[in-house]
Amino acid sequence: MQTKVNQLTYAICVPILSCAGLLLLLLGATILESKLADNLVSVHTTVTEHAHKYLSPLSLPLSLSSPQPTPAPTDRGLSTEEHLIIAAKQGNLTTVTRALNRMQIHDSHRHAVVDMALYYAAEFDHVDIVSHLLSREGVDPNEAHHQDGHTALSIASSKGHDDVVQLLLLLRGSSININLRAKRGKTALMWASIYGRTKVVQLLTGTQRCNLELRDRNYKRTALMWATATHHTAIVEILLRAGANPLAQGTKNPHLKVQFRSQPHVSAMHIAQHYKHHEAVKHLERHIKARTHTIPESVEHAVALDMLREETLGSASREDDEL
């Protein structure tokens, strides 16, 4: 019996002792490796310090010499025209000025590049660059870019950059085409009405050359119809005050309800009722009631009709003046 106990003890203890011895060996090897690594680092540091102290930096290998600063990336592969476009997008007036000074604007290609720079500056609301480009001769703000046909005025109007719009109207008011059609046949006024750019609509309708009755290419809608469909009540009232025809009609609209589809043409009132734009319905009803559709026989007759319309509107006109 004692022999079996001894054998069992031997069978259990020997593997345990062997594992313990192996772990001690691994621990010793790790400690030794760490000390060797520390010694190697210390030796490398000492050698490097002596090398820097007694040797000239020009004679040292690249690994021991001081690190050289990485040169800043350059755009040497870009042309002056490309620099101009990028700077106009980013709002870098200094680079725009330098690029313009390097360019000799004497052909249609270079004119087109400057016009495109004006377009991008207007799109990203860089007023200082727009002002600088408009001060140069030969810059055409009516030039359309890309397939959508947007101009500097239409893209600024759609994005609500009223400072850019005001600058374009002030500096190029006599030559800028306010009624130029852009994407899908929409004017700057239509885009501003669709996106609810109230300040832009006020600026555009403040000019006598703004045509309020133009229609887009697809739905044949006026700016008033678009403002009604997109629930921009303030713009609806601004357009009506500016003289937009509340009874103007567009083409059939398959998206309207059945009772409105039967109409031969769709008006702003149909659109307002379909989209349940109740405030627009009230404004339209008031202006329809006050509006006379008699064709003026003379200038004096037109003035009399305008006075009658103002008297009929009454308090509504005074409320509008406070906006």
For 25-59, how does the pLDDT look when each residue is reduced to its tens digit (9 = 90+)?
777 767 766 666 566 556 556 656 655 555 444 44
Amino acid in the structure at residue 168: L
Residue range 166-180: average pLDDT? Answer: 89
Cα-only R_g, the chain: 39
Q: How confident is the model at residue 182 (pLDDT cuts 50, 70, 90)?
A: confident
Percent residues over pLDDT 70 in the chain: 65
DSSP 3: H
Quick check: 162 pLDDT over 90? yes
Q: Please, what is the Cα angle at 150 between 149 and 154, to 5 degrees?
A: 145
Q: Is 220 left (phi over 0), alpha (psi -120 to 50) or beta?
A: left
Contacts for 290-294: CB closer than 8 Å, 24+ residues apart: 291/245, 291/246, 291/247, 293/247
- Name 150's bridge partners: 145
Lowest mean pLDDT among 97-101, 151-155, 299-303: 299-303
**Quick count: other Cβ atoms within 10 Å of Cβ 11?**
9
Residue that is written with structure tokens 């319309």 in the block? 309
* CATH number assigned to the domain covering 84-211: 1.25.40.20
Alpha-carbon distances of 318 from 20, 255, 313, rounded to whole Å: 99, 36, 9
Residue 238 tokens read as 């601004």
Residues of the chain with CATH 1.25.40.20: 84-211
| pTM of this structure | 0.64
Residue 145 to residue 151: CA distance in whole angstroms: 6
The secondary structure element, H or E, covering residue 250 is: strand 249-250
Residue 199 tokens read as 């300040």
Residue 4 tokens read as 């079996």
* CATH number assigned to the domain covering 222-323: 1.25.40
Q: Which residues contact 193 (CB under 8 A, 6 or more apart)?
A: 201, 223, 224, 226, 227, 230, 232, 235, 239
Q: Does residue 150 sit in helix, strand or coil? A: strand
Q: CB of 130 within 8 A of CB of 124?
A: no
Task: Give the dihedral sign, CA 167/168/169/174.
Answer: positive
